[in-house]
Structure 1
Amino acid sequence: MLLRRFASNVSALRAKDVSINAFVAFNDSESVSSNGPLNGCTIAVKDNICTSHLPTTASSAILKDFHSPFDATVVQILTKNGAEIIGKTNCDEFGMGSLNIHSVHGPVVNPFNVEERRAAGGSSGGSAAAVAAGLCHAALGTDTGGSIRLPASYCGVVGLKPSYGLVSRHGIISYADSLDTVGVLAKDVSTVENVFGHINKHDYRDPTSIDERVRERARNLSLEQYESNRHSNTQDLKGLRIGVPQEYFPSELSSNPIISSIRNILSLLRSRGATVLPVSLPSTKYALSAYYVIASAEGSSCLSRYDGIEYGLRVKPPGEENNIDTSAKIYAHTRSHGFGREVRKRILLGTYALSADAFDNYFLQAQRVRQMVRDDFDSVFFVSNILASSSTTPKSRKTDGVDVLIHPSAIRTAPRLPIADDAGEPESASRDTLQDYVQDVLTVPASLAGLPALSVPVPQAVRNQNVEKGDGWPIGVSVVGQWGSDELVLKVGRIIEEMERNGL
């Protein structure tokens, strides 16, 4: 797909971003990108992805003005292929948040209607808002428990969290190493697919990067059945089996306009030949607790490097000038002043989970639940999980199962931004914590299992079918596949995207 270069210059981008706050830094250099297949494609990069020519702060005071000496692998690949990195985007501090309000740079305002001051979602809210506002063709984000899919849903763009291990994490400021995944946001599936196709490569510098042979085997297994049933008529979906996880459609939300829109999507897919089946993922109810234990524990470990001594912010404690032993005080003062409230809470939770008294009851138990979640997904998919097999050539299919799962990306449209307190922190009292809990249940399980998940905007024509049309803000539908089936997930996402274009 040939992408046209934006005619607007950096000054125009800055002016447009004033009311959105999607960017924390713009690329003012006049260097010309290399020629390549992505020539003319402007890409924004989340502020927790290292860039040598722009600051990388992870939206934290503890990394104020930090400049990486190197580019992350994904940035290197994109620039080598001709893409133009136009700036760094706002995010929740170290990726810890779902509304992009925990940032030293201030909150991101959803560009769908800036006057209403609604959240762009987090933690990759700046990347989603930049795409939605037309400031770039695509943006890189990271997803630990829904940080790409939720902003994509709130802002009305496409967001892909790839299979864990397909995209290099070298040069990513870690939050939770076993969960962090680099992904892509854009206005359409084709652009996401184009950018993802370039960064979907093995990287020897990332110990979690999957070998090319394994990823190719998983791709072929996932497409085998789908391609064998395709016809020249692209509207004929015969052979595509779609699972609807019952745990993602709680009875409490039966009258929700979002649920109604997803059901309309499923009805349209069924009318075109797809088989829609109810499936059960019974461990879903335990997933969120396990996620917060694992993510917080890994976050506590990863963020221990910010000690005020080696690099980053340093806060001098009283007595340092008198040569008193203040190592512990430097550590405590720096972290107390440098980390925001949400990060401090998660560090404390994670540190406790890793303590000797709690390790067995919390961290190890959470890992057992994580395996239960993976087993649930493996039990409903046609294709075997190639990573769970003792061989790289497992039996291609079970006797039954589905190709993909479809469910809502979010249980609500973008909420209004909370009012900040005197310290500049968002008031927790103004937020519906129960809704936050239900929301995370929709995105966390796929992250625990390391599966590909794509959020696609529900076409306007589909939303208009509802008796209750809601508030008119974007709604996202998620497509989830077996590990390595990213290409199949994108194909199904494109089918949903094209519903409006091809007529209902």
Structure 2
Amino acid sequence: MRVDLFGFRKFREALESISKYNKYVNAFVDVADPQTIRDQAEESARRWESGQTKSPLDGAIFGYKMNLCTKELRTTCGSNMLNNFKSPYTATAVELLQEAGAITGGKLNMDEFGMGSHNVFSNVGPVRNPHGILDRAPESFDNVEDRSAGGSSGGSAAAVASKMCFAALGSDTGGSVRLPASYCGVVGFKPSYGRISRWGLVAYGSSLDTVGTLTRTVDDAKTIFDIISKEDEKDSTCLTQRQRDAIAKALKDFSDKEAKLHEDSIRNDPRPLSGVRIGIPQEFNIAELSPATKELWKRGIRVLKDAGAKVVPVSIPTTPLTVGAYLTLGTAEASSNLQRYDGIRYGHQSDVPDEKDELYIHTRSEGFGKEVRRRILLGTYVLTSGSFNNFFLRAQKIRQMVRNDFDRVFAQPNAITGSYSPIEDRIQSDRVHALLTPVAVETAPKLEDVFGDHIDPITAYLDDILTIPPSLAGLPAMSVPFAKGLDDNFPIGLQVISQYGDEEMVFKVGRVLEKSRESM
């Protein structure tokens, strides 16, 4: 069965979907050589038949976001600055998948350097949501209303949704995996910061960037996570094996004590979420939520209750401050990271003959798009001596307050910060194991409403308002496709968030939501 799923037959489906949909969707920017894909698929099929597979992903066709370095294909980051750049090395996460037998299908469209929420700031044009064209004849695509695929990993989400690849890797800084996953109706998973190596991921905001996955099922996301979540000496921000063991031990000690305390009630209740407490953050019930999103959030709560979970209202008081803190920190780190593009060492170089400083100016003006230039200017201002204390340091303090708020809400210990009360207090309180929130305020908006000079950038920055809080705290979070919008029949996802390092709880709750959607 797995031969049929990952081996020789499936590469045809991927290439056929690319041929049929990509001209409209604009998800793949570079596609790997079809003959190379065919040869690798044949080798994988033989391994499945002989029982010598490299992993459960052997033969799976993957797409990689354009900010993940690969030796085989360009790494443009959606920017003219790197339009012809080919990396001399491959990102650790991609390398681990290749070692597991995954086949590189190509590189995927993205907002320039990951800066955007709708994949409209790309040097090759916007990505379109595929849900308007699936199962339609290509000649009718021109009559479809263009919708946003979300960003910045919009190409990754759209490719998976339209079956151009089995799964894709993206990057999530403030919601860039989860938001497009919600819009495109796929599973978008962002692990705890440091779980997956960032080596080979071109930096936007180094303290926020996380490699994430886009898949069609929760179990697929877990399979990929298990393969690429490894210690990497090349990345100083990646968790060491010692830290991973400490996190696992702290979570197991907590789980064992809690199970012992509630042994009778759990044993008598076979439902999958028996003994699990789910928090509903009151601050996420914002005025901008559409009625359809609110209704589906309520339906998701009922589903988790029916699965045995106890639902508890909780408060994350710092939530309203997170967007400002995120933009301050993100733009500051971006201005620092992007200063390396000077037109001398690699990337675009202006043809205007001039002195050194002028070369920088012309190179960056020509190479960077307007959104990147805007964020560089904002970040540079934040880091000036006159603004550093008022903006950057204050945003860092807010970030720590956000972490503390989550630690106070979750029952599980935070083994990294150590900021938690005695385990007995947590078990016997109403602290929760996971949070359930919406991912986006509505279904995918019309592309014309998020694309063009008439769009207010401040309003656009609020699109990630529901995904930013766990990103600031470095927590694992997942967008699970839950239902379709009542008015337009486009997908809506619900977000599951858990304590740092407790990805298993995210998968556990995500499976329940996924199963309920399948039975609707």
TM-score (norm 1): 0.90
Alignment of 1:46-125 (within 5 A): 46-114=65-133, 115-125=144-154
CA distance in 1, matches of 2:15, 2:295: 42
Instruction: After TM superposition, give the deviation of residue 430 of structure 1 in Å.
Output: 4.6
User: Is residue 275 of structure 2 the alignment partner of residue 239 of structure 1?
Assistant: yes
Residues 443-491 of structure 1: CA deviation (Å, up to 9, x unaligned): 111111000000001145xx7xxxxx23211000000000000111011
Other structure's SS at 2:311 match: strand
CA distance in 1, matches of 2:372, 2:153: 16
CA distance in 1, matches of 2:414, 2:125: 41
Do the aligned residues in 1 keep the contact of 2:156 with 2:168 (CA within 8 Å)?
yes
Identity across aligned pairs (percent)? 45
Instruction: After TM superposition, give the deviation of residue 390 of structure 1 in Å.
Output: 8.0
Equivalent of 2:219, from 169, 190, 194? Answer: 190
CA distance in 1, matches of 2:128, 2:322: 30
Change (3 A) 1:182 1:236: closer
Query: Which is worse superposed, 7-16 or 450-459?
Result: 7-16
Cross-structure match for 2:12:
8
Cross-structure match for 1:491:
508
Do the aligned residues in 2 keep the contact of 1:108 with 1:120 (CA within 8 Å)?
yes
Name the aligned partner's letter for residue 6 of structure 2. Answer: R
Equivalent of 2:232, from 176, 196, 203? Answer: 203
CA distance in 2, matches of 1:317, 1:195: 46
Instruction: After TM superposition, give the deviation of residue 500 of structure 1 in Å.
Output: 3.6
- Number of aligned pairs? 482
Equivalent of 1:472, from 472, 480, 489? Answer: 489
CA distance in 2, matches of 1:9, 1:408: 32
Name the aligned partner's letter for residue 330 of structure 1. Answer: L
Instruction: After TM superposition, give the deviation of residue 397 of structure 1 in Å.
Output: 6.5
**Higher helix fraction: Structure 1 or Structure 2?**
2
User: Is residue 177 of structure 2 the alignment partner of residue 175 of structure 1?
Assistant: no
Change (3 A) 1:24 1:483: same
Change (3 A) 1:222 1:480: farther
Do the aligned residues in 1 keep the contact of 2:407 with 2:419 (CA within 8 Å)?
no
Cross-structure match for 1:283:
318
Other structure's SS at 1:418 match: helix
Instruction: After TM superposition, give the deviation of residue 14 of structure 1 in Å.
Output: 3.8
Do the aligned residues in 2 keep the contact of 1:119 with 1:416 (CA within 8 Å)?
yes
CA distance in 2, matches of 1:478, 1:108: 23
CA distance in 2, matches of 1:185, 1:333: 37
Cross-structure match for 2:48:
none
Do the aligned residues in 1 keep the contact of 2:160 with 2:186 (CA within 8 Å)?
yes
Cross-structure match for 2:139:
none
CA distance in 2, matches of 1:138, 1:233: 35
CA distance in 1, matches of 2:470, 2:323: 11
Cross-structure match for 2:342:
307
Name the aligned partner's letter for residue 15 of structure 1. Answer: S
Cross-structure match for 2:64:
45
Alignment of 1:364-375 (within 5 A): 364-375=393-404
Do the aligned residues in 2 keep the contact of 1:418 with 1:430 (CA within 8 Å)?
no
Residues 34-82 of structure 1: CA deviation (Å, up to 9, x unaligned): 7511212111000000000000000100001100011000111000010
Equivalent of 2:452, from 420, 424, 427? Answer: 427
Change (3 A) 1:142 1:178: same
CA distance in 2, matches of 1:480, 1:396: 23
Change (3 A) 1:272 1:64: closer
Tell me, which stretches of 5 or more residues in structure 1 are unaligned?
A: 321-325, 421-425, 464-468
Residues 168-218 of structure 1: CA deviation (Å, up to 9, x unaligned): 000110001000000101011111111111001110100001122322332
Cross-structure match for 1:316:
351
Other structure's SS at 1:288 match: helix
TM-score (norm 2): 0.88
Instruction: After TM superposition, give the deviation of residue 7 of structure 1 in Å.
Output: 4.2
User: Is residue 464 of structure 2 the alignment partner of residue 440 of structure 1?
Assistant: yes
Cross-structure match for 2:189:
160
Cross-structure match for 1:414:
444
Instruction: After TM superposition, give the deviation of residue 221 of structure 1 in Å.
Output: 4.1
Other structure's SS at 2:479 match: strand
Cross-structure match for 1:323:
none
Equivalent of 1:274, from 279, 297, 309? Answer: 309
Other structure's SS at 1:263 match: helix
Do the aligned residues in 1 keep the contact of 2:14 with 2:165 (CA within 8 Å)?
no
Cross-structure match for 1:466:
none
Do the aligned residues in 1 keep the contact of 2:15 with 2:164 (CA within 8 Å)?
no
Residues 294-313 of structure 1: CA deviation (Å, up to 9, x unaligned): 00000000000000111100
Instruction: After TM superposition, give the deviation of residue 219 of structure 1 in Å.
Output: 3.7
